[in-house]
Structure 1
């Protein structure tokens, strides 16, 4: 039996690679006769580059140093690959602006900046690539990508790179270089890879939904909403709104799905001419998962918490969709399973299995994530793999 093991990371405990290895260990213990192929996955957040690098052996990794969201130097990388006759650079925004780079007492979305993501874009442009794919997710920022725009010359750092809250005071002339910055990306396909479809503003926007996860109080979240609204106002005063090709009407970029991704970083990339794609969809395409599934008997995916968010563009949903297309049975092994059987079957999953179902089991799983995940996967293998 050929089994593809294709999990996401188990946030806070295991990377996608570590999760895949733990699941393979458990499966092999119960079904040593099976052929296992490991394909750790990502939806565009932390681990995006690691997943692609493992699956694309011909890719070139280029080391760079950029600023984190508080301005400190951190190591980062570009992944450059020949893709369909042109060079593609993959970037991971979390390497520069990731929440995981900050200590708990440093998390303050009023002050954090995406300047380092702009430095990553500059490095990609310097490589002369024809396509840039930016994985979005796991950010510590809520500045609508203003710091990124400052780093590539759209405006002064003292106006744009001091965090989201400072944008409330942005003058009408605060983006003098925006047109020139956009021109630098003419001829380059710029892609936003994210699982988030949130707009920039409003009840489903960056400040309302995601800034509390980054340390914002309700009062700060509202202040950030107002500041990003002011930033959008200055943008629309500076740059004519693009025209929707279908309707002929003006297209509000702040309302485009994905504009609110990574604290509004998606919005800045849209301003530069970017287009949004599903983060997991981009990864599945790059690693050739569908072709792999056509030769497999089963795919096992996983993540830390299989919940309602999993149903909306996360790795588990992407794997289940690909498995349906190739008529390959799919199951999920998750730290916790918080959706019902009907919801899981709606995705096309043939089974969902939790590592932990009680508070005591959750505590044990956090203490030994590899061992508990391997043990649960071994029990799943005993159910799914025929005895030799």
Structure 2
């Protein structure tokens, strides 16, 4: 009997195998998560590598877009300093209303004044919601008022509410950890921390993970009966991110600044955690990199907002080699 020839076994890739997954969060004020993902994927394609764009978010800027929520109406509200602006109320396919704090009271680098910034505009937006269920996305706001402005307008939530928190920190960290990013001096941080501690109505919720998100809005919404959830984990679950990671050889994520807050609930930190669980190579980029992240290849871009698009295409090309 003739022996059949022996061939080396080859590992068959699944039909939908993706070599690279481009999954950045937004670069605040520079590029949306969707645009950043498309630019990275274009760089991979130029380098001859198959890539899939899957933008991610954590409750901050761009979360509603990443979730696929469509604009239902626009509402005139006050920004953090009382200036009028239009902010959207969006809806998911099942009718769930979605509002983003960053679209009502965004952090504006042109005016950083956390002592006077108010969350009232988000309250004005929530007060206009008509739905059976509400998602509130927290992150990227100018305020550190513990939701005092919001509570001037909203006495009762319009529907059962889930809050997507971009930082899983207690109330005090709204001042300690994040107020400096909003322009606070060391003396102002101390003052803001005392002001937050004096809000007795928030005390029962002060240690809940997410209470300190968006300048203490997490605690304020919890006091009104909302459920706080890890924004990044919830968004990534809804995107079936873990399944996409299992199909990839490489995941690239990142944000404007990689620092000690990246692993406190931010989308890139959660993406890295999933990659480490699945044993998938992960590259984390930042326009600025303040700290290296354990388990990731951390890459600093030029830091020039005008070059962000070029930087991301170049990063995709470089990682293709």
Counting only pairs closer than 5 Å after superposition, residues 149-298 of structure 1 correspond to structure 2 as: 149-152=151-154, 154=155, 181=156, 184=157, 188-201=159-172, 205-230=173-198, 232-233=199-200, 235=201, 252-298=204-250
Q: Do 1:355 and 1:373's aligned partners in 2 also have CA atoms closer than 8 Å?
A: no
Deviation at 1:118, TM superposition (A): 0.9
State the secondary structure of the residue aligned to 1:311: coil
Cα root mean square deviation, aligned: 2.6
Deviation at 1:304, TM superposition (A): 2.9
For residues 193-214 of structure 1, the C-alpha deviation after alignment (integer angstroms, 9 at most, x for no partner) is: 123233223xxx3233323332
Gap runs ≥5 in structure 2: 1-16
Distance of aligned partners of 1:372 and 1:144 in 2 relative to their CA distance in 1, 3 Å threshold? same
Q: Do 2:283 and 2:299's aligned partners in 1 also have CA atoms closer than 8 Å?
A: no
Distance of aligned partners of 1:297 and 1:224 in 2 relative to their CA distance in 1, 3 Å threshold? closer
Deviation at 1:29, TM superposition (A): 0.8
State the secondary structure of the residue aligned to 2:252: strand
Deviation at 1:328, TM superposition (A): 4.6
Higher helix proportion, which one?
A: 1
Number of the residue aligned with 2:294: 344
Deviation at 1:379, TM superposition (A): 1.1
Distance of aligned partners of 1:210 and 1:303 in 2 relative to their CA distance in 1, 3 Å threshold? closer
Q: Do 2:71 and 2:88's aligned partners in 1 also have CA atoms closer than 8 Å?
A: no
For residues 171-225 of structure 1, the C-alpha deviation after alignment (integer angstroms, 9 at most, x for no partner) is: xxxxxxxxxx3xx55xx43222123233223xxx323332333233333333333
Give TM-score scaled by structure 2 length: 0.83
Give TM-score scaled by structure 1 length: 0.70
For residues 304-358 of structure 1, the C-alpha deviation after alignment (integer angstroms, 9 at most, x for no partner) is: 3333332332222222333455565433344355545xx532xxx4xx25244xx
- How far, CA to CA, are the matches of 2:263 and 2:98 in structure 1? 26
Counting only pairs closer than 5 Å after superposition, residues 1-388 of structure 1 correspond to structure 2 as: 2=18, 3-31=20-48, 34=50, 36-53=51-68, 59=70, 61-83=72-94, 87-100=95-108, 103-104=110-111, 107-124=112-129, 126=130, 128-130=131-133, 132-152=134-154, 154=155, 181=156, 184=157, 188-201=159-172, 205-230=173-198, 232-233=199-200, 235=201, 252-324=204-276, 328-340=280-292, 343-345=293-295, 349=296, 352-356=297-301, 362=302, 365-382=304-321
Q: Do 2:43 and 2:317's aligned partners in 1 also have CA atoms closer than 8 Å?
A: yes
Number of the residue aligned with 2:10: none
State the secondary structure of the residue aligned to 1:14: coil
Which shows bigger deviation, 142-151 or 330-339? 330-339
Number of residue equivalences? 304
For residues 110-137 of structure 1, the C-alpha deviation after alignment (integer angstroms, 9 at most, x for no partner) is: 222111111221222x2x222x221111
